């Protein structure tokens, strides 16, 4: 039973590394999309997706390092990515971010 437990624990670590590999591949694809994308709106979509995927990087790192200190960072990256996406969308829509009337 203990050998099986050790096997699953090493399998969990391998799975975390597999997750890092998959996330890096998808980040490269999104970076390609940001450079190539025909309109600015396509680049905004890719940037939004990158910001959300960075949350997953922090969560995987908290599994790998066995700590709960990184959970604040997950929440913070989510808030900042949402604010950045809203600002970029408002800029693309009207050209101004903050209206002064």
Partner 1 sequence: MLSLTEIEALFHIIVNILIILSILTGTFFIISAAIGVTRFPDVYTKLHAATKASTLGVIGILIGAFLFLYLQHSIISGKLLLAIVFILLTNPVSAHMISRAAHLKGVRPVLNNRKDEYAEAMEKLKAQESTKR
Footprint of partner 1 (CB under 8 A): 1-2, 4-5, 8-9, 11-12, 15-16, 18-19, 22-23, 25-27, 29-30, 32-33, 39, 41-42, 44-46, 48-49, 52-53, 55-56, 59-60, 62-63, 66, 68, 71-72, 74-75, 78-79, 82, 85-86, 88-90, 92-93
Alpha-carbon Rg for the chain, nearest whole angstrom, is: 18
Nearer to partner 1 (CB atom), residue 23 or residue 100:
23
Residue 74 CA from chain centroid, whole number = 9
Q: How many CB atoms lie within 10 A of CB 23?
A: 15
Query: Would you say 87 and 97 are in contact if contact means Cβ atoms under 8 Å apart?
Result: yes
């Amino acid at each position: 039973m203990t050998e099986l437990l050790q096997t699953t624990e090493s399998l969990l670590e391998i799975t975390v590394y597999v997750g890092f590999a998959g996330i890096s591949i998808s980040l490269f694809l999104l970076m390609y999309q940001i450079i190539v994308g025909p309109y600015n709106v396509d680049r905004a979509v890719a940037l939004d997706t990158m910001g959300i995927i960075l949350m997953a990087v922090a969560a995987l790192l908290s599994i790998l390092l066995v700590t709960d200190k990184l959970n604040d960072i997950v929440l913070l990256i989510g808030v900042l990515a949402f604010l950045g996406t809203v600002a970029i969308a408002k800029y693309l829509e009207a050209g101004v971010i903050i209206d002064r009337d």
